[in-house]
Amino acid sequence: MSSVGADMAWSAAAFRQIVWPAIRDWCGGGVIQQVEGKDADMLDIYAGIDAWQVFENDKAMRGIASRIQYDTKKSGYPYNTFSIRKSRLASATEYEKRLASVLSDRGLVYPHLTVQAYLDDKKCSVLSVAVCRTKDLFLYVDMKGIQSFLEIMNADRSSTFIAVKWSQMIGDGVKVKTMIARERLENEPRQGLLPLSSMKQEPSTESHGRFW
């Protein structure tokens, strides 16, 4: 398996096993089904869908985009932003493709929800996580102007990303649900999720049940 394939496999497993249990209730429950087989590459490249949220009782499903990062001891981590690929050598980018789908009246497929999570350096505990509607995220960036966001280049200089702060979106009235660890303890449990009692939850417009 290539390094890219290994990274994608790890990200998919981390989302299903670690991140999803923390956000499942916000998203209305259901079962996560990872995209796989011959359709996986097409869904990722053309639609940006990393997983299906399956509502078995309703016989329905919808797509989720997820980006999972882990602590590499860089300053400022966890960054508590949504990161969106802005430029890439010789191909259309995530931003261009998702915005085109959101603005289209042709029923183009894109993930209903976008999730970004930051794990600890052991890759087993959630330090922070946020969920929003994909449409809300990309229309927000379009409204503010993509040049107004911090730009980050990846290590091999093949892609650049913009960082969209969760706190900025919430302050501007965009519906974003977040959980952020209040503190990191040296002796915190390293198995499973960071206990939700030690995490700060941003207030939502709904006090119980599904956020979307």
**For residue 38, what pLDDT is reported?**
77
pTM of the model: 0.84
Domain locations along the chain = 3-201
Each residue's pLDDT tens digit, 87-105: 766 567 899 999 999 999 9
pLDDT at 3 over 70: no
DSSP secondary structure, 86-140, as one string: EEETTS--HHHHHHHHHH-SS-----SEEEEEEE-TTSSSEEEEEEEEHHHHHHH
* Residues paired with residue 129 on neighbouring β-strands, in sequence order: 117, 179
pLDDT at 204 over 70: no
User: Around Cβ 45, how many Cβ atoms within 10 Å?
Assistant: 11
Each residue's pLDDT tens digit, 22-69: 999 999 999 999 887 778 889 988 999 999 999 999 999 999 999 999
Residue whose C-alpha is closest to residue 52's, from 36, 67, 69, 68: 36
**For residue 187, what pLDDT is reported?**
40
**For residue 153, what pLDDT is reported?**
87
**For residue 158, what pLDDT is reported?**
78
Each residue's pLDDT tens digit, 151-189: 998 877 778 999 999 999 999 999 999 999 764 444 444
**For residue 194, what pLDDT is reported?**
38
Each residue's pLDDT tens digit, 67-86: 999 998 888 999 999 999 99
Give me the mean pLDDT over the 144-154 stretch.
93
Give me the mean pLDDT over the 4-15 stretch.
84
Each residue's pLDDT tens digit, 94-138: 999 999 999 999 999 999 999 999 999 999 899 999 999 999 999
More confident residue, 202 or 113: 113
Give me the mean pLDDT over the 198-204 stretch.
43
Is-contact 168 82, C-beta < 8 A?
A: no
DSSP secondary structure, the chain, as one string: --HHHHHHHHHHHHIIIIIHHHHTTTTT--EEEE--TTHHHHIIIII---EEEEETTTTEEEEEEEEEEE--S-TT-S--EEEEEEEETTS--HHHHHHHHHH-SS-----SEEEEEEE-TTSSSEEEEEEEEHHHHHHHHHHH-GGGSEEEE-TTSSEEEEEEEHHHHHHTT--EEEEEES---TT---SSPPPGGGEEE---S-SSS---
In whole angstroms, how far apart are CA 132 and each of 13, 43, 79, 175? Answer: 21, 20, 16, 6
Rounded CA-CA distance 182/95 in Å is 31
